């Protein structure tokens, strides 16, 4: 395998010392090595005085050999010289890819005190793209490891180790540097929002250090848009043996329910995220595996339950909220809360504000009214002639209680994504609506003939799919999408029809690929299989991702016509209503017009106006109408 090498000189080098280098070597893609998916942001490098610099170009192309690119990369590192402390070099987490902002220390190949030769691998680093080996191009000794094995989300530029040139200097490394606390504080203070996350992960590392050799299984990113998932079901129990390829659990993502296969042998020692866990973040530990079955009991004794690891973060937040509540008084009152305070004669200073910056919300006042604070206060403030009004206030309070009663229905990951994407589609896509009626009688006659004479059972929806696919093939301008980056229309090579299927978890859109080239019977069989998989949540990503055009059919319901919402990045979706019998003037074979009963079906196209103009939309409906009027052409 050709290797991509990354090199870079260490910053702040004394004139009397030769430059120090670090080199990274490609190991494997992150899809097979790492289960976490770090966020991708821009890189910064440490400059001459510890300041953050933005390099003009991170990568410089130096040559092409064996179809691989050799890339050169500056890596942050600081050499320190002092009369009191020995000369040492602080190695920092390097930026090994243009999108890398943090990395994981997968494994240290060198131990503290080991000698380092030119070309020795110091450690393995998991980036947002691959797992790389960090090589040294300078001799020395590894004096201190600041970031241990298994450390996650180490920011680029954070110190990870200290090297010295003289072995005698290992014991003389200053305590402040050796501990790494001062350096880490400077780094973490730059991003206060990640403080809680770091504390949670450090608590996991602390408990993990006391465990026997083990693997921490994290929530994987099973789809491009997944940032959290639900543990639907554990197929392995604690103590079970795991072979390569065994399915250990089912994970509900934002697209479907997928099986999580294990890539290494071992034993499932501890389940950290139990069955039914919701909104488990990508990268969060869900289980612990070990190689030796004798270590299972040790892991169980060390890690009592998964909730203890997860509670480290909420406990910290609760303490902060309590302290904030004690220090913060009511600063602002919302308008609805102010009306309730006036109506019930409450003292705002005695109420607890739960809103941001000490804002008293309507819910805070309602909670106080339910607890009985409102009745006594209101009776004191009301004048004596109006003492008969407590009955009215009681009725109003009961009315508030009734209106305040509701039931929360938890949303699945699929429904959350659908809600977000539909909103984005209506906000960002200019919808154009075109509608037309087609006569359904030729289609119904063909369907009946196929069933009686040939024993082939197809549905109306199967024939509609074929008719739409052939129309898209004949009007290629309609089988396209809008490329926002280029600002132009991109024509699709194949006709792939997405079919809307209603499931308990939400609407899924399995795809019939190359529908224009398939027969009616094959389309019918494929639709049945895909619909069954969709309702069971067993669709694979390639069966619902992609598609060039969508069809939503509500003909089985009493819906005459409706307008569907475009499924980006597609440019069109056809809404199919039910068939209705109407009386219409029909020209007979003798050329005489006569009234007749025909079955008509409404078709409404929702199209991206950046792709479809009136001409393209009209041409598409003309081709579609011809397919319905002469439906036998679909058999060719």
d(CA 265, CA 107): 19
Round to whole Å and give the CA distance between 313 and 306.
13
Let me know if 613 is a catalytic residue: yes
Residue with structure tokens 């509500």? 554
Per the annotation, the verdict on 49 as an active-site residue is: no
Instruction: Read off the tokens for 237.
Output: 């129990």
Provide the sign of the torsion angle of the four alpha carbons 480, 481, 485, 487, taken in this order.
positive
Backbone angles phi, psi at 226, to 5 degrees: -80, 125
CA distance 201 to 284: 9
Catalytic entry in 17, 80, 561, 609: 609
- Spatial separation of the C-alpha atoms in residues 386 and 395, rounded to whole Å: 16
Q: DSSP labels for 191-203?
A: -GGGHHHHHHHHH
Angstrom distances, CA of residue 349 to CA of 332, 335, 341, 342, 607: 11, 16, 11, 13, 56
| Separation CA 501–CA 536 (nearest Å) | 12
Bridging pattern class, strands 497-499 and 488-491: unpaired
Cα–Cα distance measured from residue 285 to residue 270, given in angstroms and rounded to the nearest whole number: 11
Report whether 299 contacts 211 (CB < 8 A). yes
On the 0-12 / 13-18 / 19+ scale of CB atoms within 10 A, 574 is buried
**Active-site entry in 279, 319, 613, 630:** 613
Q: Which residues pair with 507 in a beta bridge?
A: 502
Prior bond of 569 cis (ω within 30°): yes
Q: Please give the full DSSP string across 425-464, using - where no structure is assigned.
A: HHHHS-EEEEEEEEE-HHHHHHHHHHHHHH-----HHHHH
Count the neighbouring beta carbons within 10 Å of the beta carbon of residue 345: 17
Beta bridge partners of 63: 70
Handedness of CA 421, 423, 426, 427 (dihedral sign): negative
Among the listed residues 350, 352, 347, the one whose alpha carbon sits nearest the alpha carbon of residue 381: 347
DSSP sequence for 104-147:
EEEEESS-TT-EE-TT-EEEEEE-SSEEEEEEESS-EEEEEESS
The catalytic site residues sit at 609, 613
């Amino acid at each position: 395998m050709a290797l991509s090498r990354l090199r870079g000189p260490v910053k702040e080098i004394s004139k009397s010392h030769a430059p120090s280098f670090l080199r990274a070597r490609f190991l494997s893609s992150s899809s097979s090595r790492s289960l976490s998916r770090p966020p991708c942001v821009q890189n910064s490098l440490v400059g001459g005085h510890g300041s953050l610099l933005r390099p003009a170009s991170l990568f410089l192309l130096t040559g092409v050999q064996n179809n691989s690119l050799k890339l050169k990369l500056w890596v942050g590192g600081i050499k320190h010289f002092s009369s009191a402390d020995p000369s040492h070099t602080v190695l920092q987490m390097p930026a090994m890819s243009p999108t890398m902002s943090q990395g994981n220390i997968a494994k240290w190949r060198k131990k503290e005190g080991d000698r380092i030769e030119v070309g020795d691998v110091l450690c393995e680093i998991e980036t947002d793209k691959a797992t790389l080996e960090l090589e040294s191009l300078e001799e020395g000794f590894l004096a201190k490891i600041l970031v241990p094995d298994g450390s996650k989300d180490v920011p680029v530029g954070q110190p990870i180790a200290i090297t010295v040139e003289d072995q005698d200097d290992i014991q003389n490394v200053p305590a402040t540097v050796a501990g790494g606390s001062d350096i880490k504080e400077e780094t973490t203070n730059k991003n206060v929002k990640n403080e809680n996350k770091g504390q949670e992960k450090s608590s996991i590392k602390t408990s993990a250090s006391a465990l026997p050799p083990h693997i921490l299984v994290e929530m994987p990113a099973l789809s491009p848009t997944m940032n959290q998932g639900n543990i639907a079901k554990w197929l392995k129990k604690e103590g079970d043996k795991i072979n390569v390829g065994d399915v250990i659990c089912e994970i509900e993502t934002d697209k479907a329910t997928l099986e999580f296969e294990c890539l290494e042998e071992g034993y499932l020692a501890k389940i950290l995220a139990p069955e039914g866990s919701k909104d488990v973040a990508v990268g969060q530990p869900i289980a612990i595996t070990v190689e030796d079955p004798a270590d299972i009991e040790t892991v169980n004794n060390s890690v009592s339950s998964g909730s203890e690891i997860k509670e480290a973060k909420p406990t910290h937040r609760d303490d902060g909220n309590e302290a904030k509540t004690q220090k913060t008084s009511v600063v602002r009152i919302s308008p609805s809360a102010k009306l309730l305070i006036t109506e019930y004669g409450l003292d705002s200073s005695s109420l607890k504000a739960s809103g941001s910056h000490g804002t008293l919300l309507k819910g805070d006042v309602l909670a106080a009214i339910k607890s009985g604070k409102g009745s006594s206060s209101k009776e004191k403030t009301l004048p004596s002639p109006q003492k008969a009004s407590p009955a009215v206030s009681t009725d109003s309070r009961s009315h508030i209680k009734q209106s305040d009663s509701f039931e929360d229905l938890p949303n699945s990951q699929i429904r959350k994504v659908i809600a977000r994407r539909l909103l984005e589609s209506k906000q960002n896509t200019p919808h154009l609506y075109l509608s037309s009626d087609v006569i359904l009688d030729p289609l119904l006659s063909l369907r009946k003939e196929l069933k009686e004479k040939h024993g082939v059972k197809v549905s109306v929806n199967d024939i509609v799919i074929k008719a739409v696919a052939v129309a898209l093939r004949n009007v290629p301008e309609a089988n396209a999408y809008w490329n926002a980056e280029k600002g132009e229309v991109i024509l699709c090579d194949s006709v792939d029809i997405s079919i809307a299927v209603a499931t308990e978890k939400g609407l899924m859109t399995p795809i019939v690929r190359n529908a224009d080239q398939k027969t009616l019977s094959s389309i019918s069989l494929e639709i049945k299989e895909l619909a069954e998989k969709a309702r069971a949540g067993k669709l694979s990503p390639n069966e619902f991702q992609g598609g060039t055009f969508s069809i939503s059919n509500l003909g089985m319901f009493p819906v005459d016509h409706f307008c569907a919402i475009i499924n980006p990045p597609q440019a069109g979706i056809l809404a199919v209503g039910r068939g209705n019998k109407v009386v219409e003037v029909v020209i007979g074979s003798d050329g005489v017009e006569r009234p007749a009963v025909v079955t008509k079906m409404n078709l409404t196209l929702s199209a991206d106006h950046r792709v479809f103009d009136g001409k393209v939309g009209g041409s598409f409906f003309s081709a579609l109408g011809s397919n319905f009027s002469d439906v036998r052409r679909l058999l060719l």
